Structure 1
């Protein structure tokens, strides 16, 4: 991957190296930093040049790069579920990306009063009633009220993957029994078959009532942003599909706080093009997660560096529909030397972090536990796994079984030298483990299509990380909703049961135990690194930068981003 770095309540897929970053430094490289341990001061992982709106110039323009813009702009669908798509939608569609909830830097959740003025919860006789008072002013750009119809439509689309909608995950929507109007259409009464927690797992994003068929949902957003179905402080002024740019201006129909900026432009740029654009003053920020990027940007006139923690987990994203033998997937996990890859990845950045063993939580979380499923690692350990499964080395030294070699490709995205070096390092480690491994090099712009459509064997990518594991456990490990279709009835029941645990610590412990069991059975996703955020930012840009759980796009509040008065 939502406020918890999610789109509509799910973790957004992210390229492992190309998308987000954090900063520090002198001429010799960024300052030494390391991820905060559990219970540490999370404020050290935030750097946004925070300023009140009164201290900023009214008006002005900000131009920001994205790895890809489109082609599928439906953030609730598998093809549109990317961190870039989230970043694009944040300023123009808060209805679809924030919905009922506002999330602070530390992950604490409160109602987003631009949409939901209050959310009340009552449990009686084992069933739950949630009453939502919708802001009377809340309205889509086309004039459609945001009311019970939007909530009911969101539920109908997201409650099951069997209805023909290409959703990422049904989350807790499957436990909803009804969504009806209360005293008016602006009072929404949600009843569930069993209690569900956390409450913010529901209606984090809302889907316009006009999106009312699988055809519209699955195909209607290809090349079409549908701004009429949005609601946010900005609106689309122009979308140039050929130039891959989207220009925004303040939305005169927005009822909430008015934005400071007069114009926002997003441009699709490969990493190498971003470097030139930033140095020439054409864009106002870019991420520099690798030493090659850092060195090229260091010393750029009128710029500064902002450092924080990247909300990312991944590196090993396996497509089990292509790498079908679980023993090969297990051998991949064993062959990987995660520390060696991190040395390549963070070379020169002076960033330290422990090996992470969870896709769902970062090591500084109080709920975190290490679930990495392989303890014996290295080339010999990988070969032993394959040998025990009936594989033997062929004439070329490749392990094969029944005439079928263990062969696949690593899909790598973007043209940064460090990303290529990481892919090559991983390739060599897997080859040493007896596997025939190639590299499928792709442009950054191909990321959403390739990963969303599952057109890869192994991708160096992962997902955004939230402060609570409840939604992620269903997205990643429920057999009916995870993209690999891996799991079993016993794990599915545990996932269904844990959503009713009200206590945050107990519920997250149950989720982490499911992850541990699933990883040890199926070997589909693994964490090689989390990483820092290193952002080069134009001097004077306020309220922008690493924001932890407040934002995936490094803009914690689109109404307050702007330029400091000179």
Structure 2
């Protein structure tokens, strides 16, 4: 499962890197393996084809773990990566991420966007006059103003997934026309290109009720190359079709159907023609099956996607002591877990990551994990010092057993394997892990989002603006969970994060983020496991799609299609 934060740039169950996509090597059949840590950042593998070679029409069938819990991506239940992929076919993204994590203006929505002043910081956006909402209204400065007011944290009845960036804005004003937007900040905000995406109409932010529940079942107003055809919660599908009112370049595809498919059924679904691709992730079974399929290519690119374990530091959790969380982290061998999950499909080493903001190969990456690195004997010693004494196979303190509830989604073979490896490893240091498997459709809404776990695991999907994109995960705000599901943090981390998102100097900003990262490790906030290999199995006739690297916000829904 996957997930990520919202500054506007998502998690799989919401840390992402301008150029046209480059074609990388594809693996298909034989004994070829995937690249590991030596993989090159910034290169996509998508079977790039000129528009003239892509068939006009066709339906692309896209597998997902679940349908959106809310079509408002900025609402707490809305930050699901699968939902974001659907939303991006319908709603405005003001900027586009490229495979190498650079960012460019999306000319379908903006004619220009610029930093007009740095002191105070002022942004000026010029909206494309052709851009219209599905109700006929033009996109305007009022949509920006309404979105800012709902997301700046001033009104706590708006159940927002994050306030990063918006809380730093002083005012949003009309410029020379309704399509000219002036945004003035009271505090500097460096990664401003992640704001206001996806953009929503002002009506969504008109009241807390409209924001929180108004789009829970369906999107009300859209402005994208596609529009909703059907939302079938019984059949577990969402289909979008070309919108005749779209003012930009006509999409190659007639239709995209998003279908909920269990992870264990992905390979069969592709082989049977029910879907056109699947994300291999860390499934050796799916990798092996894909290698043997006729007419299927395995494409790979470094992706901003990593698996981790989140710890719960709330008073209600047995893990509310940061020293206990760090001690348990020291009992978890991430390298062994990575080899167990990825070893059979990689030619090189698995990409074990030691940073919460930056992935391997990116400019800011430093391994700051020493304080929580695997050391079984150190873990035992730290647990002893904390008063958790071994009695039989399990430690006790003040008569209470050290039993940790690890909540995972099911059916999900990867989560099952990871949790059992963690269970086995922590048993060796005297901690008992109670694995609770819950339905995938309930996993985020009823467990993760509300802190109903001691430990849990999913995948974080990041963006080209990793600091602001991650702030809501690590910033501790007593008044709002944001995406800090474990309720862990400190004033020191908060201050460093505030300084980092405000710092306009790139080098200094990376340094501040790494200082914050060191403190996050000391708090035992979450344990990154491994970076995904970034491989997908896709029909060989699919063009301009596959392993897109960082070009996933939005995906290139306009040019993707079939060569025959």
| Alpha-carbon contact 1:23-1:533 (below 8 Å) kept | no
Residue 19 of structure 2 corresponds to none
Residue 128 of structure 1 corresponds to 121
| Alpha-carbon contact 1:360-1:473 (below 8 Å) kept | yes
Residue 545 of structure 1 corresponds to 546
Aligned length: 543
Residue 557 of structure 2 corresponds to 558
1:510 is the counterpart of 2:512:
yes
Deviation at 1:140, TM superposition (A): 1.5
What is the distance in 1 between the residues matched to 2:356 and 2:31?
29
What is the distance in 2 between the residues matched to 1:454 and 1:138?
40
What is the distance in 2 between the residues matched to 1:168 and 1:142?
27
What is the distance in 2 between the residues matched to 1:359 and 1:10?
19
Deviation at 1:8, TM superposition (A): 4.5
Residue 299 of structure 2 corresponds to 306
| Alpha-carbon contact 1:335-1:429 (below 8 Å) kept | yes
1:372 is the counterpart of 2:369:
yes
What is the distance in 2 between the residues matched to 1:546 and 1:470?
24
| Alpha-carbon contact 1:116-1:132 (below 8 Å) kept | yes
What is the distance in 1 between the residues matched to 2:9 and 2:473?
9
What is the distance in 2 between the residues matched to 1:262 and 1:159?
38
1:404 is the counterpart of 2:400:
yes
| Alpha-carbon contact 2:238-2:257 (below 8 Å) kept | yes
Secondary structure, counterpart of 2:534 in structure 1: strand
What is the distance in 2 between the residues matched to 1:313 and 1:349?
17
> After the TM superposition, which of the residue ranges 421-430 and 471-480 deviates more from structure 2?
471-480
What is the distance in 1 between the residues matched to 2:183 and 2:69?
34
Q: Given the superposition, is the C-alpha separation of residues 272 and 69 from structure 1 closer, same or farther in structure 2, using an over 3 Å criterion?
A: same
Deviation at 1:12, TM superposition (A): 1.9
1:438 is the counterpart of 2:434:
yes
Residue 209 of structure 1 corresponds to 202
| Alpha-carbon contact 2:389-2:397 (below 8 Å) kept | yes
| Alpha-carbon contact 1:313-1:359 (below 8 Å) kept | no
Deviation at 1:76, TM superposition (A): 1.2
| Alpha-carbon contact 2:489-2:525 (below 8 Å) kept | no
Unaligned stretches of 5+ residues in structure 2: 15-23
- 36, 45, 48: which is aligned to 2:46? 48
Unaligned stretches of 5+ residues in structure 1: 17-21
Secondary structure, counterpart of 2:448 in structure 1: helix
- 96, 113, 121: which is aligned to 1:119? 113
Q: Given the superposition, is the C-alpha separation of residues 248 and 41 from structure 1 closer, same or farther in structure 2, using an over 3 Å criterion?
A: closer
What is the distance in 1 between the residues matched to 2:276 and 2:312?
36
> After the TM superposition, which of the residue ranges 168-177 and 498-507 deviates more from structure 2?
498-507
| Alpha-carbon contact 2:133-2:139 (below 8 Å) kept | yes
Residue 21 of structure 2 corresponds to none
Residue 19 of structure 1 corresponds to none
What is the distance in 1 between the residues matched to 2:161 and 2:464?
19
What is the distance in 1 between the residues matched to 2:295 and 2:71?
34
Residue 391 of structure 1 corresponds to 388
What is the distance in 2 between the residues matched to 1:59 and 1:117?
29
1:119-268 pair list within 5 angstroms: 119-123=113-117, 126-160=119-153, 163-211=156-204, 212-222=206-216, 224-226=217-219, 228-268=220-260
Q: Given the superposition, is the C-alpha separation of residues 454 and 77 from structure 1 closer, same or farther in structure 2, using an over 3 Å criterion?
A: farther
Residue 66 of structure 1 corresponds to 64
Deviation at 1:30, TM superposition (A): 4.2
TM-score with structure 1 length normalisation?
Answer: 0.90
Residue 416 of structure 2 corresponds to 420
Deviation at 1:148, TM superposition (A): 1.0
| Alpha-carbon contact 2:267-2:289 (below 8 Å) kept | yes
Deviation at 1:177, TM superposition (A): 0.4
CA RMSD of aligned residues (A): 2.4
Residue 363 of structure 1 corresponds to 360
What is the distance in 2 between the residues matched to 1:421 and 1:445?
19
| Alpha-carbon contact 1:29-1:348 (below 8 Å) kept | no
Kindly report structure 1 stretches of 4+ aligned residues shifted beyond 6 Å. none
Q: Given the superposition, is the C-alpha separation of residues 23 and 160 from structure 1 closer, same or farther in structure 2, using an over 3 Å criterion?
A: farther
Deviation at 1:32, TM superposition (A): 4.3
1:499 is the counterpart of 2:498:
no
Residue 277 of structure 1 corresponds to 269
Q: Given the superposition, is the C-alpha separation of residues 145 and 107 from structure 1 closer, same or farther in structure 2, using an over 3 Å criterion?
A: same
> After the TM superposition, which of the residue ranges 50-59 and 313-322 deviates more from structure 2?
313-322
What is the distance in 2 between the residues matched to 1:429 and 1:161?
45
> Deviations 1:429-480 (Å, cap 9, x if unpaired)?
1121211111112343333323233332211213112233320352222222
Secondary structure, counterpart of 1:332 in structure 2: helix
TM-score with structure 2 length normalisation?
Answer: 0.90
Q: Given the superposition, is the C-alpha separation of residues 132 and 456 from structure 1 closer, same or farther in structure 2, using an over 3 Å criterion?
A: same
Q: Given the superposition, is the C-alpha separation of residues 161 and 302 from structure 1 closer, same or farther in structure 2, using an over 3 Å criterion?
A: farther
What is the distance in 1 between the residues matched to 2:162 and 2:305?
19
> After the TM superposition, which of the residue ranges 380-389 and 244-253 deviates more from structure 2?
380-389
